[in-house]
Copies of this chain bind each other. A is one copy, B any other.
């Protein structure tokens, strides 16, 4: 598919789109009805650069669902099987969000700004509508809306150096999945050590679209000698690193345990979670299928735009949902869901790649 995207307001631009276009974006996806860059120079060139230097990513499509009011913390716990009782202000938690059947509705990061104020930094589904519906139905005393907050990610091994030039050396002290508040042009910005790569870095929650391009420009001006470039979540790096993608590697058909997210669930103690009853059994007995790292033999695979079925003999035992050629590991790296009968590391399966049969091997973990 080499079709272009037809422009419309419905596919929302971001406060950084002017900067992204000036840096030569050449591919997009649509994420939360918003433009998300996918390619600048090329996926491979962007990948090598990300692992060596520092990139600025327009991830405004990680929209925030803001909860404010006396029932905010109660509502937050209703949404997730992760126990939030010990979470403190200043922390970010990766939180599976489940419906009453335990099906995943989103896999966002929750940011606790105060006991009565939270941001949920969402993956690709209108979680806002679920949260608003629940708040309304249970008559909770909480405001739920999408604020004018657009995350900008700084990713890559030189992230600390670039960020320190703008925000000062104290930014280096932020711990993983913690945030601190910093000033830029007189405005308070939440900055967390997080991001959708394993190359290190930060996410800046840019509050107020008016300061988006000034911040973008300041980062590029400050980082010229660091070889800073515009980038985006990289299709190769994220599979190597085992970063799942909601809508690709999991849907509302899947429980968190199937997605390998059991360690983020405290199903027994997450009292109030809407999906708790449904998840108690799977928490105890485990899932019958689960996400696995899978390598696929042969040359570079085509883009994985639909599930590729996995077979053992004639029996379908799973599917591949993300796959791409890795230059650093010199093989096709993939993410799939495999039934327990065939999910042990080293199991050899067949995968149907658009009509071509290839050998697929279940691995004991991701590449990086």
Contact = CB atoms under 8 A, between A and B. Distances in A.
Interface of A: 1-11, 13, 21, 25-30, 33, 38-39, 99-100, 105, 124-127, 129-138, 235, 245-248, 274, 303-307, 321-322
Nearest to A29: B6
Contacts of A3: 4-5, 25-28, 39
Contact of A305 (B13, B303, B305): B13
Given A25-B3, A30-B30, A305-B13, A8 B248 contact: yes
Contacts of A131: 133
Of A38, A127, A131, A132, chain B has the most CB atoms within 10 Å of the CB of A132
A7 B305 contact: yes
Contacts of A30: 5, 11, 30, 33
Given A1-B21, A9-B306, A307-B9, A136 B137 contact: yes
Of A9, A39, A131, A248, chain B has the most CB atoms within 10 Å of the CB of A9
21 contacts: A1-B7, A3-B5, A5-B5, A6-B38, A6-B39, A6-B303, A7-B305, A8-B245, A8-B247, A8-B248, A9-B304, A9-B307, A10-B124, A13-B305, A13-B306, A30-B30, A99-B136, A125-B129, A126-B129, A129-B129, A133-B133
A307 B30 CA distance: 18
Contact of A134 (B6, B126, B136, B304): B136
Contacts of A2: 4
A249 to B, nearest CB: 8
Nearest to A21: B1
A305 B9 contact: yes
Contacts of A39: 3, 6
A260 B241 CA distance: 50
Given A6-B39, A6-B303, A303-B8, A33 B133 contact: no
Given A3-B5, A21-B1, A33 B129 contact: no
A107 to B, nearest CB: 13
Contacts of A25: 3
Nearest to A5: B5
Contacts of A248: 8-10
Contacts of A105: 129
Contacts of A127: 129
Contact of A27 (B5, B21, B304): B5
Given A13-B305, A130-B132, 17 more contacts: A1-B5, A1-B7, A3-B27, A5-B27, A6-B27, A6-B29, A8-B245, A9-B248, A10-B245, A11-B30, A30-B30, A30-B33, A125-B126, A126-B129, A129-B133, A131-B133, A133-B136
Contact of A6 (B6, B11, B28, B274): B28
Nearest to A302: B7
Contacts of A305: 7-9, 11, 13
A38 B6 CA distance: 7
Nearest to A307: B9
A288 B248 CA distance: 43
Contacts of A28: 1, 3-6
Contacts of A133: 129-134, 136-137
Contacts of A135: 137
A195 to B, nearest CB: 19
Given A126-B125, A305-B13, A4 B26 contact: yes
A318 B279 CA distance: 49
